[in-house]
Structure 1
Amino acid sequence: MNPQIFSRIGTQLSLYTGIILGVLVWGCSEDMREQPSFSYQESPRRHSPQGSVPQVDLTAFRTSLTQHDPGAYLFSINCAHCHGTEGMGDGPVAGYLPELPANLQAPAVQKKADDVLYGIVTDGKDVMPAFEKLLTHEERRDLVSFIRSLPDPRQSSNQRPPESVQKKGMF
């Protein structure tokens, strides 16, 4: 074949490819001025008719847990799966851990100074992870305050820990 034919075919192919790419790129502008949803000197949009949008008191949807005690809310998210909702070390994950979580209602825990509890929450202990990078200083202080507010087990009725905890030989 003649090399001039290949040259002519290559020129035509590159010309058509350039035209097709130019048409495709021309329609892909990301300029905010050219948005079809906005036009210059557009009249303001009318508001919805009075009463068509229901007015709801959003404070009614706040939970009393987060509204009154942020420590309880943080405990329910970060701690209850191991320590249990009442802090007795009987959470749903407790049976799967190599060491049982501490019973936060126990007198030995409640006797510890706030700074000691804060240090445990911050740095972790045994299988408990450190919360220094997950929670702010204020949130960790709220957790310590919540741990202090847990009921004294000696004042409550004789509650036995769940069987999964009893099987570990702790009671």
Structure 2
Amino acid sequence: MNALGPRETSQGRHESPEERADRRWNDLLQEVRVIQTGVQILFGFLLTVVFTPRFATLGQTDQTIYVVTVLLGAATTGALIGTVTFHRLVTGHRLKPETVLWASRLSMVGIVLLLATVASALLLILRIAMDDSAVPWIVSGLVGWFILCWFALPTWVLRRSSARE
């Protein structure tokens, strides 16, 4: 056993394709669990808004933004749950590496849809709360922040790491 662990070297793990797929599937499942919780809370909240007295007083633009936000939330939920149903439908067919690849792609689609859902929800909420021309700028700034945190930083680290190898 070396300092890195019983089956690891400085070049990474020594695992079969099946072991790697199992590990990557478990990692993906944990990630989806974290994000799905937030999506469920957001989507559940969005579903109740239409039943409040305040909804009827919203202008057509805000009602349209609301409908778009709910549809984006539903699409996000579909993509994230799709990772699990994909696995369930192909389990037992010796397709674990392919399953992990496609489920990972579905989860990324879900994350992009979540970004759109959050942006749309922020736009609606801030338009009502502030009634200010600064709202699109605030929402754009937050979307930029999410893109930085969710996509740009990991991409930068990955490229930096790849350049060193």
TM class by shorter chain equals under 0.3
- Whichever of the two has the greater Rg, that structure is 1
Structure in which a larger fraction of residues adopt helix? 2
Q: Return the structure number with greater relative CO, CA threshold 8 A, min gap 6.
A: 2
TM superposition score normalised by structure 1:
0.20
